[in-house]
Protein backbone atom coordinates (compact mmCIF):
# COMPACT_ATOMS: atom_id res chain seq x y z
CA UNK A 1 0.00 0.00 0.00
CA UNK A 2 2.79 2.40 0.85
CA UNK A 3 5.09 3.43 -1.95
CA UNK A 4 8.65 4.57 -1.85
CA UNK A 5 9.48 8.26 -2.13
CA UNK A 6 10.85 7.95 -5.67
CA UNK A 7 7.71 6.21 -6.88
CA UNK A 8 5.46 8.91 -5.43
CA UNK A 9 7.27 11.65 -7.34
CA UNK A 10 7.27 9.78 -10.64
CA UNK A 11 4.67 10.72 -13.26
CA UNK A 12 1.67 8.44 -13.53
CA UNK A 13 1.89 5.71 -16.11
CA UNK A 14 -1.84 5.30 -16.81
CA UNK A 15 -4.15 8.27 -17.01
CA UNK A 16 -7.73 7.98 -15.85
CA UNK A 17 -10.54 9.37 -17.99
CA UNK A 18 -12.89 9.79 -15.04
CA UNK A 19 -12.19 13.45 -14.30
CA UNK A 20 -12.53 14.79 -17.89
CA UNK A 21 -15.73 12.80 -18.44
CA UNK A 22 -17.18 14.07 -15.16
CA UNK A 23 -16.36 17.68 -16.07
CA UNK A 24 -17.97 17.21 -19.49
CA UNK A 25 -21.14 15.73 -17.99
CA UNK A 26 -21.37 18.52 -15.43
CA UNK A 27 -21.03 21.12 -18.18
CA UNK A 28 -23.75 19.48 -20.28
CA UNK A 29 -26.08 19.26 -17.27
CA UNK A 30 -25.40 22.89 -16.35
CA UNK A 31 -26.19 24.07 -19.89
CA UNK A 32 -29.37 21.97 -19.96
CA UNK A 33 -30.57 23.38 -16.63
CA UNK A 34 -29.71 26.92 -17.71
CA UNK A 35 -31.70 26.56 -20.92
CA UNK A 36 -34.71 24.92 -19.29
CA UNK A 37 -34.92 27.47 -16.48
CA UNK A 38 -34.33 30.36 -18.86
CA UNK A 39 -36.94 29.02 -21.25
CA UNK A 40 -39.45 28.77 -18.42
CA UNK A 41 -39.04 32.43 -17.60
CA UNK A 42 -39.45 33.50 -21.22
CA UNK A 43 -42.69 31.61 -21.85
CA UNK A 44 -44.65 33.59 -19.26
CA UNK A 45 -43.38 36.96 -20.49
CA UNK A 46 -44.49 39.30 -23.24
CA UNK A 47 -44.76 38.19 -26.84
CA UNK A 48 -41.94 39.01 -29.21
CA UNK A 49 -42.73 41.65 -31.79
CA UNK A 50 -40.77 41.92 -35.04
CA UNK A 51 -41.00 45.15 -37.02
CA UNK A 52 -40.38 44.82 -40.74
CA UNK A 53 -39.31 47.77 -42.88
CA UNK A 54 -42.08 49.43 -44.85
CA UNK A 55 -41.77 48.98 -48.60
CA UNK A 56 -43.06 51.66 -50.96
CA UNK A 57 -45.39 50.55 -53.71
CA UNK A 58 -43.53 52.48 -56.40
CA UNK A 59 -41.76 49.90 -58.53
CA UNK A 60 -40.44 52.42 -61.10
CA UNK A 61 -37.87 54.23 -58.93
CA UNK A 62 -34.88 51.95 -58.65
Residue of 32 and 13 predicted with greater confidence:
32
What is the C-alpha to C-alpha distance for residues 30 and 6, in angstroms, rounded to an integer? 41
Residues of the chain above pLDDT 70, percent: 65
Is the model's pLDDT at 22 over the cut of 90? yes
pTM flag (> 0.85): no
* Confidence (pLDDT) at 20: 93
Buried b (16+ CB within 10 A) or exposed e, 23-59: eeeeeeeeeeeeeeeeeeeeeeeeeeeeeeeeeeeee
Task: List, for residues 26-44, the tens digit of each pLDDT value.
Answer: 999 999 999 888 776 666 5
What is the C-alpha to C-alpha distance for residues 1 and 19, in angstroms, rounded to an integer? 23
Is the model's pLDDT at 62 over the cut of 60? no
Amino acid sequence: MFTRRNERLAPEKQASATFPVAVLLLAVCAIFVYLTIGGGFLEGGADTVVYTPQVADSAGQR
